[in-house]
Chains A and B, each alone.
Chain A
Amino acid sequence: QQNVQQSPESLIVPEGARTSLNCTFSDSASQYFWWYRQHSGKAPKALMSIFSNGEKEEGRFTIHLNKASLHFSLHIRDSQPSDSALYLCAVSFYAQGLTFGLGTRVSVFP
């Protein structure tokens, strides 16, 4: 059974700083790796995904995957107050349901 862990549980960062979130998984055969962001009272929304080892950048967001280490991460450059949310990492196999971590609550203060 897949086990997905996130760290840290919560993070407080000043505006403009870099935010780094971590996610580890247990099944080395996992194929898809996701970061979702959930604002209070809203549905989780897909932020970024990666399918192969390496790095992927989209705007201020960078996702990094190392399958051998069973680890992937999300980095937010120039963090903004609007980035304050619950960040959920999730792992899946193709066309299967997601296994989520518990989330990291990020607060960005001006």
Chain B
Amino acid sequence: GALVYQYPRRTICKSGTSMRMECQAVGFQATSVAWYRQSPQKTFELIALSTVNSAIKYEQNFTQEKFPISHPNLSFSSMTVLNAYLEDRGLYLCGARGAQDTQYFGPGTRLLVL
């Protein structure tokens, strides 16, 4: 079956520091990877959509300078949160797109900022 792994599951970082999270698709070839953030009391917001060999498309309010993404192949993607502050805390989900346009989600990386 199609599975998506995310690492780490939970991380704590000091305000102003950066942290990197990873996403691995297993059992299928992901044609694209989308990163989402669920902030406290909010739904999942799309951060960016990454397609291998294409430019990464960032949504309004999210930039490459703040959330650089690496997507070297069809099964792996990573995103870094640079200079994390309190407003960056939340659950970061990776959604890998498989057949019939279905997005399979990983369990998420929960980021706490002190």
Interface residues of A (CB under 8 A from B): 1, 32, 36, 42-46, 49, 88, 92, 94-103
Residues on B with C-beta less than 8 A from A102 are: 42-43
Q: Are A32 and B105 in contact (CB under 8 A)?
A: no
Q: Are A97 and B101 in contact (CB under 8 A)?
A: no
Contact of B34 among A43, A46, A49, A97 (CB under 8 A): A97
Secondary structure type dominating chain A contacts: loop
Report the minimum CB–CB distance from B74 to chain A (whole Å): 14
Report the minimum CB–CB distance from B12 to chain A (whole Å): 18
Residues on B with C-beta less than 8 A from A49 are: 100-102
Q: Are B103 and A95 in contact (CB under 8 A)?
A: no
Residues of B in contact with A, size category? 20 to 34
Bound CA–CA A32/B59 (angstroms): 19
Question: B39-75 vs A: 1/0 string, CB under 8 Å?
Answer: 0001110101101000000011000000000000000
Nearest-CB residue, chain A, relative to B49: A97
Q: Are B101 and A94 in contact (CB under 8 A)?
A: yes
Report the minimum CB–CB distance from B111 to chain A (whole Å): 16
Report the minimum CB–CB distance from B3 to chain A (whole Å): 10
